[in-house]
Every structure is written in C-alpha cells, then in structure tokens.
Structure 1
C-alpha cells in the first residue's frame, strides 16, 4: 500500500510539473485525451462482455 501511495504522489508531481511547463498540451490531455481514453476503454469492455454473452447464447 505504501509503495502505491508513493507512486501516486510521484506521478502527480511529474504531471503537475509537465502542466506548469506545457499548459496548452496539459489542458488538451486533461480535457480531451482522458475523456477519449475513458470512452475507448468503456467501449472495448462493453464489446468484450457483449461478445462473451453472444457466444454463451449461441448468437453468431
């Protein structure tokens, strides 16, 4: 648990330094990149679950 906490703190420090140096790129990553990434992960997970259910019920 302690290692994970240190990793989170270190990552947060690195991201804060990056955003301070490259404000516009950081803005794009936070408000465009992360939502797109989250949507893509959600879409992929839903597709995998739907595919498994389709196979279980015999829908080809």
Structure 2
C-alpha cells in the first residue's frame, strides 16, 4: 500500500462522516462537502492503485530473464 492509497481511504472516511453529520443536523452544505470529500478520496485511492500496479509490473518485468 502506498501513501496515495492510505490518504485516499482516509479522505473517503472523512467524507462519509461529514456527509452523515450533514444529514443528521440538516446541513446541505456539510452533506455536499462530505460527498465531495468521498469522491476526492476515491480518486486519490485510484491514483495510488495505478501507481502500485505500475510498481508491481516493473518488478515483474525486472525478474524476467
């Protein structure tokens, strides 16, 4: 796991919490911010996934004779 994957996952959790709090207190702004944070976290995690896959592919190519 790389830092983008970890940060993305954390951002998604933060967004979920914000969205839930926004729903509970009736704040459309906070709910929307939470959804945006979740989306940003998903994107950052995907970036991390791609980086990890590229690193794994490089390692696999380096091992081949």
TM over 0.5, yes or no?
yes
Aligned residues: 42
Q: Which has the larger radius of gyration?
A: 1
RMSD of Structure 2 on Structure 1 (CA): 1.6
Divergent runs of 4+, >2 A: none
Q: Structure 2: give runs of 5+ residues left out of the alignment.
A: 1-19
TM-score normalised by structure 1 residue count: 0.58
TM-score normalised by structure 2 residue count: 0.54
Higher RCO (Cα < 8 Å, 6 or more apart): 2
